Structure 1
Amino acid sequence: MLSVSDAEAIILNLVQPLDDQRDTEVVDLLAADSRILARPITSSLDFPHWDNSAMDGYAARYEDVQHSSTEKPAVLEIVEEIPAGYQPKSTIQTGQAARIFTGAVLPAGADTIVMQEKTRQEDKRVFILDAPKPQEFVRHKAAFYQAGTQLLPAGIKLNAPEIAVLAAAQCSQLRVYRRPRVAIFSTGDELLAIDQPLQPGQIVDSNQYAIAALVRQTGAEPLILGIVKDDPVALEMSITHAIAIADLVISSGGVSVGDYDYVDKILESLQAKIHIRAVQITPGKPLTVATFPTQNSALYFGLPGNPAAVLVTFWRFVLPAIKKLSGISEGWGPVFLKVRSHDELRSHGQRETYLWGKLHLIDGVHEFHKAGGSHSSGNLINLAQTNALAVLPIGKTLISPQEEVLVLQLSNG
């Protein structure tokens, strides 16, 4: 049985990111939110585009105002008013200033902005009541970015700040990686669809909905293939179809050692190489990860059937795989924090144990609150509102209240 860290390393080594030539598409900027940039971006524009004012005030020559004070103010003639979006007409000469507003173009001859709070205006004259620093409040052309250099690198997720940068650079279309395709199906004779009447011994297939939601949160495209009965022929057909249409396949159930757990046997019959069969993790010990000999076939994840185990193994193993697959250049792995535990946390100590709950910020300190009720892998109900998993390493059976604990912080992809 593999350790959690060894399983993670094997999975990430198996993942081949989308190809930066074949697996890309051009999208409009308004459709680029949360997409992964496939090409570096450069711009022909400098940022700022020109010298401009960072403050409402007066544009002047530093040599005219460097000795100003309340007792002996410099007095300058106001020769022009320059709002944002206006092209200055004057060149500032000795003894002159221009009224200027934030973002407006600095007029020729001026090299310093005196903020208006340090001035007094009388008709067409301004009194400078305090000496500014040289070039104070001047934003120089190309100080933020120089035209022709790299503006954004490939392999980053485009969020609001990056979208704003691209808009400012007049980049209306850009090349991004296509969304990874993830096929999803559930296995088990006991499963029924959400709209079917529940019979004794049956359960509603919640895993398919949970996995599809998680896949969407990563920015990938879920391909919903439904419920497959515990029938070897039907399972083989479903697996064959799934690996042909997807980049990654996720099934739930059928990967343990029961008489009706057929997934591993069928994968072997399809000449798949099974890299992982079980991991030292609770919940989620039975975990199958396989690859196929055919070119461009999907990476296969066979997750356990119990709902808590499905979510934990997705967060711990599948999410990093989808991130790497999507073209993100770095930061695929989970984010761990050391925080204070509000509750007593227990495990048997034989496997790395994950307990679900919520992170709270208490008096400036993050604190983990374990979800109430049973932490059975079959208990779906108390998983609601989970945003963190407390991790108890092998051999650690108790974490007392107020003791430090490592937590896996959960986010939407």
Structure 2
Amino acid sequence: MLSVQQAEQIILTSIQPLDPQRNTEIVYLLAASGRILAQEITSQLDFPHWDNSAMDGYAVRHADVAESNAENPATLEIIEEIPAGKAPQKTIQPGQAARIFTGAMMPAGADTVVMQEVTQRSGNSVTILNAPAPQSFVRHKGSFSPAGTPLLSPGISIGATEIAVLASAQCTQIPVYRRPVVAILSTGDELVTPDRPLKPGQLVDSNQYALATLVRQTGAIPQMLGIIPDDPQQLQNAISQALEFADMVISSGGVSVGEYDFVDQILSSLGGEIQIRAIAVKPGKPLTFATFSSSSRQAPIIYFGLPGNPVSSLVTFWRFVQPAIKKLSGISDFWQPMFVQAKTQHSLKSDGKRESYFWGKLHLVNGEYEFTLAGGSQSSGNLINLAQTNGLAVLPVGKTLINARDLVQVLQVR
């Protein structure tokens, strides 16, 4: 049985990100939100595109106003008004100024903007009551980013700010990684779909729907293959089918040591290299991780066999599968699990034999995280109190108690 850290290293070392040469597609600007950028973005435009004003005021020659003050003001002739979007038509000569507005292009001859609050206007003249510093309120051409320099790096997730940069660069067709395809199946004769009436001894298959949702939230494409009975041949056919098209396969159930747990032996018979069979984690001990080589693909196909208990299935997804999907998708950083320190509002107890996870809610209170344990039993079969979970408090191996109000490491999830 491997430690959590050993298992994590094996899994993440086995994951090869999608190849940007083979796994890139072009999407339009508004369809790029949430996608992973596959190529560096540059622009032939300077940012700003030209010298412009950062303030409503007057564009002047600094030499004309350098000595001005309330007792000895400088009075200049206003020769032009320049709103944003209009190109200047005149050159500022000694003793002259232009009325200018925020974002408007600086006229030739001017090198400084005087904000309107320190001026007095009278007809076609303006009096400067306070000397500005040279270059005040002027945003110079290329000062944010000169033409030809990188604007966005590959491997980043595209959000609103990146969309704004792409739009500003007039980049409307965006190279992004394709979304990884993740096949999902549930195993067990006892399972039925949510739309069917329950018979004695049957359970609703919640895992497949939860896992598909998490896969989609993580940026991949879930392909739900349904419920596979506890029949070795049917299970082998389903897994074999999934391996033909998916980048990753996730099954839940069938990975323990019971008479109806066939997953591991089927993976071996199909040529899979089983690297993990069990992890010292609670909940989620029976977890299978395997890889399949393919002559038609550069990267191995990844297989996760998750426990059947609903909480165990979700906890192991958050801890091990989600980072793997993120790395596979081409994200260059921040695919690792994210932990924060929080003050627990409840005592947390375990036997110390396995790394134990307790689910609940993580809140930011006065700049510090607090963790509140979910009410009810912390049972791997108790799916109900998992609702609204956004944090998993961790008790490491050898630690049996963390008292209320003490600090605890919490894995951020959802």
The answer to whether TM tops 0.5 is yes
The structural deviation recorded for 1:363 is 2.6
Q: What is the rounded CA distance, in whole Å, between the counterparts of 2:378 and 2:395 in structure 1?
A: 14
Q: What is the rounded CA distance, in whole Å, between the counterparts of 1:342 and 1:127 in structure 2?
A: 64
Paired letter, 1:35: R
Q: What is the rounded CA distance, in whole Å, between the counterparts of 1:371 and 1:359 in structure 2?
A: 10
Classify the secondary structure of the residue corresponding to 1:237.
helix
* Residue 183 of structure 1 pairs with residue 186 of structure 2: no
Paired letter, 1:172: T
Classify the secondary structure of the residue corresponding to 1:278.
coil
Q: What is the rounded CA distance, in whole Å, between the counterparts of 2:236 and 2:274 in structure 1?
A: 16
User: Match for residue 359 of structure 1?
Assistant: 362
- Provide the aligned length of Structure 1 versus Structure 2: 411
User: Match for residue 348 of structure 1?
Assistant: 351
User: Match for residue 96 of structure 1?
Assistant: 96
The structural deviation recorded for 1:63 is 1.2
Paired letter, 2:377: S
User: Match for residue 298 of structure 1?
Assistant: 301
User: Match for residue 236 of structure 2?
Assistant: 236
Equivalent in 326, 336, 339 of residue 339 of structure 2 = 336
For the Cα contact (< 8 Å) 2:293–2:301, is it kept in 1?
A: no
Classify the secondary structure of the residue corresponding to 1:141.
coil
The structural deviation recorded for 1:327 is 0.9
User: Match for residue 56 of structure 1?
Assistant: 56
Equivalent in 351, 372, 377 of residue 374 of structure 1 = 377
The structural deviation recorded for 1:349 is 1.0
Q: What is the rounded CA distance, in whole Å, between the counterparts of 2:174 and 2:369 in structure 1?
A: 39
Classify the secondary structure of the residue corresponding to 1:330.
coil
Paired letter, 1:360: H
Q: What is the rounded CA distance, in whole Å, between the counterparts of 2:372 and 2:49 in structure 1?
A: 50
Classify the secondary structure of the residue corresponding to 1:131.
coil
Deviations, residues 130-182 of structure 1 (Å, cap 9, x unaligned):
11111011000000111112111111111111111000000010211111000
Runs of 4+ in 1 over 4 A off after TM superposition: none
User: Match for residue 147 of structure 1?
Assistant: 147
Q: What is the rounded CA distance, in whole Å, between the counterparts of 2:254 and 2:244 in structure 1?
A: 20
The structural deviation recorded for 1:340 is 1.1
User: Match for residue 24 of structure 1?
Assistant: 24
The structural deviation recorded for 1:16 is 1.4
Task: Note the 1:244-283 alignment, pairs <5 A.
Answer: 244-283=244-283
The structural deviation recorded for 1:345 is 1.3
Classify the secondary structure of the residue corresponding to 2:81.
strand
Task: Note the 1:93-132 alignment, pairs <5 A.
Answer: 93-132=93-132
Paired letter, 2:64: D
Classify the secondary structure of the residue corresponding to 2:21.
coil
Equivalent in 379, 397, 402 of residue 399 of structure 1 = 402
Q: What is the rounded CA distance, in whole Å, between the counterparts of 1:364 and 1:153 in structure 2?
A: 31
The structural deviation recorded for 1:71 is 2.1
Deviations, residues 282-305 of structure 1 (Å, cap 9, x unaligned):
111111000124333521000000
The structural deviation recorded for 1:278 is 0.5
Deviations, residues 322-373 of structure 1 (Å, cap 9, x unaligned):
0111011122101111111111111121111111111112233211111111
Q: Which ranges in structure 2 are unaligned for 5 or more consecutive residues?
A: none
User: Match for residue 313 of structure 1?
Assistant: 316
User: Match for residue 86 of structure 1?
Assistant: 86
Structure-1-length-normalised TM-score: 0.98
User: Match for residue 34 of structure 2?
Assistant: 34
Deviations, residues 261-315 of structure 1 (Å, cap 9, x unaligned):
1100111111211000011111111110001243335210000001111111111
The structural deviation recorded for 1:399 is 1.0
For the Cα contact (< 8 Å) 2:310–2:382, is it kept in 1?
A: yes
Deviations, residues 81-102 of structure 1 (Å, cap 9, x unaligned):
0000000011111111111000
Q: What is the rounded CA distance, in whole Å, between the counterparts of 1:145 and 1:378 in structure 2?
A: 54
Deviations, residues 85-121 of structure 1 (Å, cap 9, x unaligned):
0000111111111110000000001111111111111
Q: What is the rounded CA distance, in whole Å, between the counterparts of 1:151 and 1:294 in structure 2?
A: 36
For the Cα contact (< 8 Å) 2:192–2:203, is it kept in 1?
A: yes
For the Cα contact (< 8 Å) 1:55–1:115, is it kept in 2?
A: yes
Q: Which ranges in structure 1 are unaligned for 5 or more consecutive residues?
A: none
Q: What is the rounded CA distance, in whole Å, between the counterparts of 1:293 and 1:410 in structure 2?
A: 31
Paired letter, 1:259: E
Q: What is the rounded CA distance, in whole Å, between the counterparts of 1:217 and 1:294 in structure 2?
A: 27
Deviations, residues 183-225 of structure 1 (Å, cap 9, x unaligned):
0000011100111101111110000000000000011100010
Equivalent in 382, 387, 399 of residue 384 of structure 1 = 387
For the Cα contact (< 8 Å) 2:294–2:301, is it kept in 1?
A: no
Classify the secondary structure of the residue corresponding to 2:277.
strand
For the Cα contact (< 8 Å) 1:288–1:302, is it kept in 2?
A: yes
Classify the secondary structure of the residue corresponding to 2:240.
helix
The structural deviation recorded for 1:244 is 0.8
For the Cα contact (< 8 Å) 1:244–1:298, is it kept in 2?
A: no
Q: What is the rounded CA distance, in whole Å, between the counterparts of 2:279 and 2:71 in structure 1?
A: 78
Larger mean CA deviation between 292-301 and 126-135 belongs to: 292-301
